[in-house]
Amino acid sequence: MARDKCVLAYSGGMDSTISIVWIRENYNLDVVTLTVDIGGGPELEGVRERAASAGAIESLVWDVKDEFARDFIVPGLKAGAMYESVYALSTAFGRPLMAKKLVEAARQVGAVAVAHGCTGKGNDQVRFDAGIKTLAAHGEPLRIIAPAREWEMTRDEEKEFAARAGLELREVGDDQRVYSIDRNMWGLAIEGEDLEDTWFSAPEDAFSWTQAPDQTPDQAEEVEISFDKGVPTALNGNEMGLVELIDQLNLLAGSHGVGRVDHLENRLVGIKSREVYETPAAVVLYQALAALETATLARDQQRVKAQLAPIYADLVYDGRWYTALRENLDAFVSSAMRYTSGDVRVKLYRGSSTVTGRRSPHSLYDFELATYSTEDEFDHAAAVGFIDIYSLPARTQMKRQTMRDAR
Ligand code: ARG
């Protein structure tokens, strides 16, 4: 009799590979692996062979880069969502998409369970579980298995388990630090090992997308980014798809050392953790879009949007992607961004990015109003009456209360 199936989110790494065997042994389920490509150069090569060698009955490899950029990264970028003002949420955007694909795959192959490799102390388990439970709320219930949260094996026990199961795992030398790294096209998150000392400065070999700022070119480089309704569409005048644009900007900004972030972060599960990120394209795009908004949004729109940005960021970070509130916020943001089209010039130099120009056909900047030259059309005389009424409450209060107290 055929066994029931479980779809496992599969990266090809050691934990993930061991999980194939572990799920079969502990749950008596056949394992179908699902590897989703969300960019950032994951090692997809040989992933099917590795899954098969551990006994997976089928392995799915899905390229969802376009969907990731369009439906996850872009809404977050438009909303200005940076967790605790610095983290571009790369991993946090990836998880709800993976959850969605796990549920889709499970329905497709008729699985009774899905599995992911998260441990019990991170944010990612929350994002996966909440996403899966929400998306699977209709239809047959799906069981969630999280081997690394359940198996209680130490690193050495995992290795023994792998050896017993006859798995060949690529070993790294004993002396080598092994950071926990999560990567997709929007960024790279590095944690663990020596970084767990918050005073310890991240060593140069921890970074892979960004040059050390003291090793970057002597010449600054300017890049022009074009946006259409808040969506990036071109680099230096060359129109391109989102995935290509993000990849190119990662390379360009990374080569100037832009995009390194060292953060002591508040996790949803209540602990603080030291996180190092490399998010070159994200840093430049957030900065550029914010600069364009200064031209295309009215002051009040800017203020309200700025208040919603951290709410949006917390919502993404906390695994509440599949909620009506997110859709409501997206609706506001998209409405606010209707006229945020135009170009921004950013200078990249030795680890920093600086906006040096912005323009839009819908800019609210009016030269005739702003200029101090002879072309000035601003009504200076009208300012007198405006200030008279504007300062009326302050003057009244000064006379009736404050001045009286002073007497
Ligand atoms: N702290 C980040 C987040 O919660 C990144 C987690 C990445 N995971 C990792 N294994 N490095 O989104």
Q: Quick check: is 95 catalytic?
A: yes
32 within 8 A of 58, measured Cβ to Cβ: yes
Ligand 1 atom nearest to 89, measured from its CA: 12
Angle at 116 between CA 137 and CA 92, to 5 degrees: 80
d(CA 88, CA 261): 10
pLDDT of residue 42: 63
Taking only Cα atoms into account, the Rg of the chain, rounded to an integer number of angstroms, comes to 26
CA dihedral 316, 322, 328, 330 (to 10 degrees): 60
Catalytic member of 24, 48, 50, 95 = 95
d(CA 304, CA 314): 16
Three-state secondary structure call for residue 212:
coil
CATH of 181-359, one of 3.60.40.10, 3.90.1260.10, 3.40.50.800, 3.10.450.50: 3.90.1260.10
d(CA 158, CA 244): 38
Ligand 1 atom nearest to 190, measured from its CA: 11
Angle at 27 between CA 25 and CA 29, to 5 degrees: 85
CATH 3.40.50.620 positions along the chain are 5-75+85-164
At residue 290, what are phi and psi to the nearest 5 degrees?
Answer: -60, -40
d(CA 77, CA 85): 13
d(CA 234, CA 253): 15
Which protein residues touch ligand 1 with a CB less than 6 Å away? 91-92, 123, 180-182, 189, 191, 265, 275
Side-chain half-sphere exposure of 275, counting CA atoms within 13 A: 26
Cβ within 8 Å of residue 338, ≥6 positions away:
229
Catalytic member of 180, 201, 208, 391 = 180
CATH 3.90.1260.10 positions along the chain are 181-359
Separation of CA 231 and ligand 1 centre (Å): 26
Ligand 1 atom nearest to 181, measured from its CA: 11
Q: What Å distances lie between residue 245 and 164, 235, 285, CA to CA?
A: 45, 7, 10
pLDDT of residue 170: 65
Three-state secondary structure call for residue 276:
strand
Ligand 1 site-directed mutation target among 123, 207, 263, 271, most atoms within 8 Å of CB: 123
Separation of CA 358 and ligand 1 centre (Å): 34
Helices (H) and strands (E) in the chain, counts: 16, 14
Query: In the block, which residue shows the tokens 């394209």?
Result: 281
Amino acid at 128: F
Catalytic member of 124, 129, 182, 247 = 124
Separation of CA 182 and ligand 1 centre (Å): 6
Per-residue pLDDT of 180-202, as tens digits, reads 999 999 999 999 999 999 999 99
Separation of CA 266 and ligand 1 centre (Å): 11
Separation of CA 190 and ligand 1 centre (Å): 7
- Sheet-wide strand order for 342-349: 238-239, 231-235, 221-228, 342-349, 352-359
Q: Quick check: is 124 catalytic?
A: yes
Nearest to 4 by CA among 33, 22, 29: 29
Side-chain half-sphere exposure of 74, counting CA atoms within 13 A: 20
Question: Strand 143-145 vs strand 113-115: parallel, antiparallel, or unpaired?
Answer: parallel
Architecture of domain 5-75+85-164: 3-Layer(aba) Sandwich (3.40)
Q: Which pLDDT tens digits describe the chain residue by residue (407 residues)? A: 789 999 999 998 888 999 999 999 999 999 999 999 999 876 788 999 999 999 999 999 999 999 999 999 999 999 999 999 999 999 999 999 999 999 999 999 999 999 999 999 999 999 999 999 999 998 888 999 999 999 988 888 988 998 888 887 665 545 566 899 999 999 999 999 999 999 999 999 999 999 999 999 999 999 999 999 999 999 999 999 999 999 999 999 999 999 999 999 999 999 999 999 999 999 999 999 999 999 999 999 999 999 999 999 999 999 999 999 999 999 999 999 999 999 999 999 999 999 999 999 999 999 888 998 888 888 889 999 999 999 999 999 999 998 777 66
d(CA 182, CA 322): 22
pLDDT of residue 14: 86
- State the first-to-last Cα distance of the chain, in angstroms, to the nearest integer: 96
